[in-house]
Structure 1
């Protein structure tokens, strides 16, 4: 049996790419007698309201053509927002020079701007200017941060 999230991901990924959006996260949740489907899309420079509207139409049309989600569903399509978690391989490379907060497996955190990304590690430039190198295997979660000067 196909995992519903994996099946849905494969089903809508190319539809979203047609409207210029990248699928960055997907959630399915049972709510009363229906299924809540949350689709998070993004692109370099951010998504517009018009692109979100097009993405909703594409995903709804695709869901209505298939029976992957049984019964009634509610669909939400949005941008991941300002506290987005970087989960997919390759996302870090899209944000050079951006401020991030890393949550490490040992329970500690690191904050800095992305200086360099390799397949093995991430180099962060800290506020004092020194570089902190963190092995990717030690990272539990990471979030973009937004600051105002």
Structure 2
């Protein structure tokens, strides 16, 4: 059922975002405790999403969801940016992350480990390549449990 809700919501949301110069990054429909949450993550292909974007788009999406009613029962709608440490789930997410630091975990051990942080240097549907500090590793995408961008913090020298 969750997948049907997500598909229906995405069909409603994408035209709204397109007219605003934004794109749909991801959609989640989850039950947490007693409540259900419909989370819509938006992005701007060139630039950043700000609070005004989220607020403006949230109103439009809410009105369209009320009109079409693809989600039965009560839920909370949240519209936000995927953030600096955004999750990488779809092929497009990985393609856009090439040349950036990523952190990922795998379902099974690869080269003796399940956690990797490094520079994503290559992505295809068959493999992704991460350059680690001392080595590089090739990981099949179907072995990736979770992946996200990794924000590197640098100290201000001399301390």
Give the distance between the partners of 1:30 and 1:104, measured in 2 at CA: 25
Measured against aligned partners, the alpha-carbon deviations of 1:123-146 in whole angstroms (never above 9, x if no partner) come to 111123x32221222222211110
Q: Is the 8 A contact 2:30 2:38 kept in 1?
A: yes
Partner of 2:130: 124
Partner of 2:120: 114
> Runs of 5+ in structure 1 lacking a partner?
none
Cα distance, 1:72–1:120 mapped onto 2, change above 3 Å: closer
Give, in angstroms, the shift of residue 69 of structure 1: 2.4
Give the distance between the partners of 1:32 and 1:133, measured in 2 at CA: 38
Give, in angstroms, the shift of residue 78 of structure 1: 0.6
Cα distance, 1:121–1:71 mapped onto 2, change above 3 Å: closer
> Runs of 5+ in structure 2 lacking a partner?
155-159
Measured against aligned partners, the alpha-carbon deviations of 1:14-71 in whole angstroms (never above 9, x if no partner) come to 2122212221222234579975322111233331222212211221121122121235
Partner of 1:67: 69
Q: Over aligned residue pairs, what C-alpha RMSD do you find?
A: 2.4
Q: Is the 8 A contact 1:99 1:111 kept in 2?
A: yes
Equivalence map 1:29-44=2 (5 Å)? 29=30, 35-44=36-45
Q: Secondary structure at the match of 1:105?
A: strand
Partner of 1:58: 60
Q: Is the 8 A contact 2:122 2:129 kept in 1?
A: yes
Q: How many residue pairs end up in the alignment?
A: 148
Equivalence map 1:82-101=2 (5 Å)? 82-101=84-103
TM-score normalised by structure 1 residue count: 0.83
Cα distance, 1:3–1:123 mapped onto 2, change above 3 Å: same
Give the distance between the partners of 1:31 and 1:138, measured in 2 at CA: 27
Q: Is the 8 A contact 1:60 1:75 kept in 2?
A: yes
Query: Aligned pair 1:10/2:15, yes or no?
Result: no
Cα distance, 1:35–1:134 mapped onto 2, change above 3 Å: closer
